[in-house]
Amino acid sequence: MIRFKNVNKIYPPNVVGIRNVSLHIKPGEFVSIVGQSGQGKSTLAKMLFCEERPTSGEVIIGGWDITRIREHDVPLLRRQIGVVFQDFKLLPQKTVFENVAFALEVAGEPIKRIRQVVPQVLRIVNLGEKIDRYPHQLSGGEQQRVVIARSLVHRPKILVADEPTGNLDSVNTHEIMELLKKINEFGTTVVLVTHNRDVVNTLHKRVITLEGGQVVADVERGKYRL
Amino acid sequence: MFVSILRITKFAGQNFWRNFWLSLITISMLVLTLLTINVLLVLNLVTDKAIEYVEQRIEVSVYFNAGVEQEKVTNTAGYLRDLPQVRDVETITAAEAYDRFQVRHAGDTAILTSLEEIGDNPFGPTLVVKAFSANDFPFILSALDNPQFRDAIRDKDFSSYEEVISRIRYTTDRIRLFGLGLSVIFLLIAMLIVFNTVRMGIFTHREEIGIMKLVGASNWFVRAPFLLEVIGYSLLSTVIMAALMYPTIAFMETRFDSYFDGQATHLLQYFEMNGWMIFGAQFLAVALISMIATGFAMRKYLKV
Q: Which residues of A touch B219 (CB under 8 A)?
A: 71-72, 75
CB of A64 less than 8 A from some CB of B: no
Please indicate, yes or no, whether residues A100 and A198 belong to a single structural domain of this protein: no
Q: Tell me which residue of A161, A131, A158, A159 sits closest to A146, measured CA to CA.
A: A131
Please indicate, yes or no, whether residues A12 and A68 belong to a single structural domain of this protein: yes
Q: Which of B55-69, B107-121, B281-295 has the highest mean pLDDT?
A: B281-295
Contact check, Cβ <8 Å, B215/A150: yes
B211: nearest CA partner in chain A: A89
Answer whether residue A109 shows pLDDT above 60: yes
Answer whether residue B159 shows pLDDT above 60: no
Q: What confidence score (pLDDT) does residue A101 get?
A: 94
Please indicate, yes or no, whether residues A3 and A63 belong to a single structural domain of this protein: yes
Answer whether residue B181 shows pLDDT above 90: no
Least confident range of A58-67, A96-105, B120-129, B158-167 = B158-167
CB of A225 less than 8 A from some CB of B: no
Q: What confidence score (pLDDT) does residue A96 get?
A: 96
Calculate ∠ Cα A27-A32-A38, nearest 5°: 130
If one compares A26 and B207, the residue with the highest pLDDT of the two is A26
Tell me what percent of the residues of chain B surpass a pLDDT of 70.
97
Tell me what percent of the residues of chain A surpass a pLDDT of 90.
58
CB of B214 less than 8 A from some CB of A: yes
Please indicate, yes or no, whether residues A121 and A49 belong to a single structural domain of this protein: no
Q: What confidence score (pLDDT) does residue B303 get?
A: 67
Of B214, B218, B221, the CB nearest to A83: B214
Answer whether residue B31 shows pLDDT above 60: yes
Answer whether residue A203 shows pLDDT above 60: yes
Q: Which residues of B touch A78 (CB under 8 A)?
A: 213-216
Average pLDDT of every residue of chain B: 85
Q: What confidence score (pLDDT) does residue B162 get?
A: 67
Please indicate, yes or no, whether residues A3 and A76 belong to a single structural domain of this protein: yes
Structural domain ending residue among the three candidates A155, A186, A213: A155
Contact check, Cβ <8 Å, A108/B221: yes
Q: What is the mean pLDDT of residues A94-99?
A: 93
Whether a cis peptide bond, with omega within 30° of 0, leads into B84 is no
The whole domain housing A107 covers 86-155
CA distance A222 to chain B (A): 30
Contact check, Cβ <8 Å, B214/A75: no
Read off the pLDDT of residues B58-87 as tens digits, 9 standing for 90 and up: 788 888 888 888 888 888 899 999 999 888
Structural domain ending residue among the three candidates A155, A185, A202: A155
Q: What are phi and psi of B87, to 5 degrees?
A: -90, -40
If one compares A97 and A62, the residue with the highest pLDDT of the two is A97
Of B1, B211, B213, the CB nearest to A102: B211
Q: How far is CA B147 from CA A51, B142, B153, in A?
A: 92, 11, 10
Q: What confidence score (pLDDT) does residue A127 get?
A: 93
Q: Which residues of A touch B3 (CB under 8 A)?
A: 108-111
Answer whether residue B304 shows pLDDT above 60: no
Chain A, window 104-123: residues with a beta carbon less than 8 angstroms from a chain B beta carbon: 105-111
Best interface-test mutation with B: which of A106, A147, A154 has the largest number of B CBs within 10 A? Answer: A106
CATH assignment of the domain containing A181: 3.40.50.300
Contact check, Cβ <8 Å, A79/B210: no
Please indicate, yes or no, whether residues A75 and A32 belong to a single structural domain of this protein: yes
Of A71, A78, A110, the CB nearest to B216: A78
CA distance B148 to A167: 109
Split at pLDDT 50, 70, 90, the class of A25 is very high
Please indicate, yes or no, whether residues A114 and A126 belong to a single structural domain of this protein: yes
Does the complex come out with an ipTM higher than 0.85? no
Average pLDDT of every residue of chain A: 90
Split at pLDDT 50, 70, 90, the class of A226 is low
Split at pLDDT 50, 70, 90, the class of A84 is very high
Read off the pLDDT of residues B87-98 as tens digits, 9 standing for 90 and up: 889 999 888 888
Q: Tell me which residue of B194, B180, B221, B177 sits closest to B286, measured CA to CA.
A: B194
Every domain of chain B and the residues it spans = 2-54+164-301, 59-157
Which CATH code, of 3.30.1360.200, 3.20.20.100, 3.30.70.3040, 3.30.830.10, is assigned to B59-157?
3.30.70.3040
Q: What is the mean pLDDT of residues B103-119?
A: 84
A75: nearest CA partner in chain B: B216
Contact check, Cβ <8 Å, B216/A108: no
Q: Which residues of A touch B224 (CB under 8 A)?
A: none
Q: What confidence score (pLDDT) does residue B160 get?
A: 59
Whether residue A99 contacts residue A90, with contact meaning beta carbons closer than 8 Å, is answered with yes
Please indicate, yes or no, whether residues A142 and A45 belong to a single structural domain of this protein: no
Q: What are phi and psi of B64, to 5 degrees?
A: -95, 160
Structural domain ending residue among the three candidates A132, A155, A178: A155
Read off the pLDDT of residues A128-158 as tens digits, 9 standing for 90 and up: 999 999 999 999 999 999 999 999 998 899 9
Q: Which residues of A touch B211 (CB under 8 A)?
A: 89, 91, 102
Q: What confidence score (pLDDT) does residue B161 get?
A: 66
* Overall number of domains in chain A: 2
B224: nearest CA partner in chain A: A106
CA distance B111 to B105: 7
Q: What confidence score (pLDDT) does residue A189 get?
A: 94
Please indicate, yes or no, whether residues A7 and A94 belong to a single structural domain of this protein: no
3-state helix/strand/coil string of chain A: CEEEEEEEEEECCCEEEEEEEEEEECCCCEEEEECCCCCCHHHHHHHHCCCCCCCEEEEEECCEECCCCCHHHHHHHHCCEEEEECCCCCCCCCCHHHHHHHHHHCCCCCHHHHHHHHHHHHHHCCCCCCCCCCHHHCCHHHHHHHHHHHHHCCCCCEEEEECCCCCCCHHHHHHHHHHHHHHHHCCCEEEEEECCHHHHHHHCCEEEEEECCEEEEEECCCCCCC
